[in-house]
Each structure stands twice: as structure tokens, then as C-alpha cells.
Homo-oligomer: A and B are copies of this chain.
Amino acid sequence: MPPEVKALGFDVFGTVVDWRTSITREGEAFGRAHGISGVDWVTFAEAWRGLYQPMMNKVRHGEIGWTKLDDLHRMALDQLLKDFSIKGVGEADIDHFNRAWHRLDPWPDAVAGLTRLKRTYVLTTLSNGNVALMVNMAKRGGLPWDVILGAEPTRHYKPQREAYTGTAEYLGIRPEELMLVAAHNGDLKAASGFGLRTAFVPRPKEHGPGQTKDLAPDGAWDVVAQDFVDLAEKLGC
């Protein structure tokens, strides 16, 4: 492993937490609470996540000013409620459902692995999720971050350079002293291009049983680990 690494920056959605199962569970609860029938909540969850990149693109391309992910999630949700013909739900309940993204469950190895890694490294989020979302998720799931950084404090969404290098700047370290941990080759490719170190941890069920992408590393990442406990082993923690 690169000896100069001082901090690990984690992609979160998909890498640390299982958004698909969790959002499906939240959707089912939302449907039961409001007597909504005929909605496949797995499809709904995938559609919600499907609007993630298009919504961030509005910010990346300057169509709209800086907008935190909670608000982009809400813009997407409002669109999906129309698309799925869901009506008559009050504002407070829609807001609660929107914050389902604050209540995603960690993958089973995540807390144990992070707890070991924290003994040696500064652990930061390096996610497009906003600070409140990350804090609430960590409180609920027991994720032992040292600090919450990434998109909101740098005002740029990955894969824009500032999200990565700005996170290193906040930590007072050079890009090569920060290692991105992610289940997504594209994220690692961007980080690597900006001078960060890289660790790939595949999450082969992120997109369900039929997942076809990000099953294996497609770049010369510094570390490849099976899960976060294996990552701790490979980093000597």
C-alpha cells in the first residue's frame, strides 16, 4: 500500500450503504402508510436513483446554482410521484420519505471495517451526499467518520476536481495522501486523475441480482479488497 496515505475518503451510496434495498424498504413503508397500491418499490427505488446523475448535472453544468443533494432528491421525488400517479400525500410525509436517503443501511462489513481502519487513518466521507444526510446516516448506522467532507463543503459534485482536491485541502494534506475508497470504477478513475490514491471494493449487489457493471476493477487501482474488513487487512490495520 502507498505508505504516505493519511486519510481514506469514502464514496458512500453503494460503497458504504445499500441504497437499493433500503429505499425499497422505505418505499414499501411509505406505500403502506398511504394506502398506495400497484407500485413496484424496487422499480421506484431504481428510478429515484436513476435521476441522481441527471439532477446533479443541472448543478455541474450551471443550469441551476449550488443545490444540496437533499433538494435534488426532492426534485426527483416530486417528478416520480407524478410519474407513478401517487397523489394526496401531505408535505410532511413527502419530506420524511425524501429523507429516506438519510436512513440507508450499511453493508454488513462496513462498520467493522471502518472501526479498524479508523485506528490508523483519518476517515472522511467523500460523497455527493450533503452534510446533514451524511451525519444522520452515520448516527443511525453507527458509521464512525472522523469528519464529513465531499460535495457540499467543496460546493462541487464528483467527478468534478474540486470535490476530490478540496477534500484533501480541508484535511491539510496533498491529494496523494488521500485514498478514495469506492465501488465504482468511474469515481476511482476521476480521483486517480486528480492525484488521489485509489481502493476498489466491489459491491456486486448494489444494483440487485442482475448487476453487470463494476463487478471487477477496470483500472490499476492501488488496492482491491473484497469488503471493508478485507480492506483493513490489506492496509495493515
Contacts and interface: CB of A to CB of B under 8 A. Distances in A.
A206 interface: no
Q: How large is the interface on A (under 10, 10 to 19, 20 to 34, 35 or more residues)?
A: 20 to 34
> Main secondary structure on chain A at its contact with chain B?
helix
A235 interface: no
Interface string A143-177: 00111110011000000000000000011110000
A230 interface: no
B70 A132 contact: no
Interface string A198-216: 0000000000000000000
A139 B122 contact: yes
Contacts of A196: none
Contact of A171 (B122, B131, B138, B173): B131
A131 B70 contact: no
A135 interface: yes
A146 B138 contact: yes
Contact of A132 (B132, B138, B139, B171): B171
A167 to B, nearest CB: 10
A161 to B, nearest CB: 19
Contacts of A152: 170
A136 B173 CA distance: 12
Given A131-B170, A131-B172, 20 more contacts: A70-B172, A122-B135, A122-B139, A130-B172, A131-B147, A131-B149, A131-B171, A132-B170, A132-B172, A135-B146, A135-B147, A136-B172, A138-B146, A139-B146, A145-B146, A146-B148, A148-B148, A152-B170, A153-B153, A153-B170
| Across the A-B interface, the 10 shortest Cβ-Cβ residue pairs | A132-B172, A131-B170, A147-B148, A153-B153, A135-B147, A132-B171, A135-B146, A122-B135, A131-B147, A139-B146
Interface of A: 70, 122, 130-136, 138-139, 145-149, 152-153, 170-173
18 contacts: A70-B172, A122-B135, A122-B139, A130-B170, A131-B147, A131-B171, A132-B173, A133-B172, A138-B146, A139-B146, A145-B146, A145-B147, A146-B148, A147-B147, A147-B148, A148-B148, A153-B153, A153-B170
